[in-house]
Amino acid sequence: MHQVNEIDALLAGYPEVMTPAEVAAVLRVEAQTVVKWLGENHLSGFQVGPKRSWRAFRSELRQYLQANRNQWGVTSE
């Protein structure tokens, strides 16, 4: 599947557990935007440590990108 290969290429080289800054780099947004989305449950993530820092699994980000990707296609018209 072409879409999956593009998403895999986009996420290549990132660790399985990603920081908001790493997620932001993939999505090309600010890290604070990612933190906001995590807090609002727009993205899946979890908090760790005494400062409750956010983390996200690369595999869940991959699923999110796949599920929310615009579908491009060629019609016969």
Q: 18-70, pLDDT tens digit by residue?
A: 999 999 999 999 999 999 999 999 999 999 999 999 999 999 999 999 988 77
Residue 72, pLDDT score:
58
d(CA 24, CA 30): 6
C-alpha distances out from residue 11 to 18, 49, 52, 75, Å: 10, 25, 24, 30
Residue 69, pLDDT score:
79
Report the amino acid identity of residue 33. Answer: T
Evaluate if residue 2 carries a pLDDT over 60. Answer: no
User: pTM score, two decimals?
Assistant: 0.82
Residue 1, pLDDT score:
45
Both structure tokens of 24? 């932001």
